[in-house]
A and B are shown apart, each in its own frame.
Chain A
Amino acid sequence: MKLFELAETLEATFICGENRENVGFDKVGASDLMSDILSALSEDGILLTGLATVQVVNTAVIAGVRAIVFVRNKKPNPGVIEMAREHEMPMLTTPYSMFVSCGRLYATGLTGLNGAR
C-alpha cells in the first residue's frame, strides 16, 4: 500500500511529508508504548499511535518506520512537526479511533509488524 492510499482508507490528512505520499509499506504497528515499537520488527512499517509527543518522532526515526499516523485527530505541537520535517518523517492524522483505524487497514490486507494476520 502507498501512503496516499492509507490516507484515503483512514480519511487522514498529511501534517507533513506529503511529498512522500508514494512511499510504500505492507505492515503496521499500533501502540502507545515506545519500547513496543523499538522491540518489534518495525522498520519499513507504519506506526499508528494516540501519543503526539517528541518521543514518538524520535522513536519512529530510530526504529526506521516509514510514517506516523495519529488517531482521533491528534496533532503534535509545531516544534515536533518541525522535527519530523527535518527527519523527513511523514505524519498524518485521522479522525478515526485506534480500533476503527486498525480495522480499516486490516481489511485492506495489511499485516502486523511480524507479518501476522
Chain B
Amino acid sequence: MPALKKCFHIKGRDFIHAGKASISVQNMLKQLNVAPSLIRRIAVCGYEGEMNAVMHGGDAVFSVEINTDRIVLEISDEGPGIADIDKAKEKGFSTAADEFREMGFGAGMGLPNMENNSDQMIIESEPGKGTVVRMFFETCETSGSQDG
C-alpha cells in the first residue's frame, strides 16, 4: 500500500500559528482510526518538535508519512543548527530566551519528551545550516514510554 504523506510549512517565530501542523496531524490520525495512545505520542512529539523549530530553528517543513507498519514525522528547519546534539538532548538543557519561558516553554524537556514518546528519534544538524529531526513510530505495538 502506498504511503500517505502530508507536508506543512512552518514559519520561524510565528507563535500565532505554531501548533497548527501538529493539531492537523492529530485530527488526520483520528480520522484514520489510529490507536488513541499512539496518536497522543505522535501529537506530543510533533508539537514539541514544531515549537522547537519555531523557537530555536527557523522556517521549517513539517511532514508526516503514514505507512501500514509505521508512521514517520520529520521536521526540517533552516535555522542555526545544534552544535552538540547529545547535550541538547539532556533533560533540563535549554538555551531558550525568557520570551519563550513566558510561554511555558524552555524547561529543556522537549527533546527528552520526543525521545520518550517515539520508538526512535534521529537528529541531523549542521551549525549554520539547519536541523532535521526524524521520529519513527511502529503502528502495531505500543512501545515508547511515558513518565508519570
- Which residues from chain A sit less than 8 Å from chain B, CB to CB? 32-36, 38-41, 43, 49, 51, 53-56, 58-59, 61-64, 79, 87, 113-116
Contacts and interface: CB of A to CB of B under 8 A. Distances in A.
A34 B105 contact: yes
A36 B44 contact: no
Contact of B105 (A35, A54, A61): A35
Given A54-B15, A54-B16, A62 B107 contact: no
Given A34-B104, A53-B103, A55-B103, A40 B147 contact: yes
A35 B146 CA distance: 12
Interface of B: 15-16, 18-19, 22-23, 26, 36, 40, 43-44, 46-48, 51, 102-105, 107, 109-110, 112-113, 116, 146-148
A39 B116 contact: yes
Contact of B44 (A32, A38, A79, A115): A38
Contact of B146 (A39, A51, A55, A79): A39
Nearest to B20: A58
Contact of A38 (B18, B23, B102, B113): B113
Nearest to B39: A64
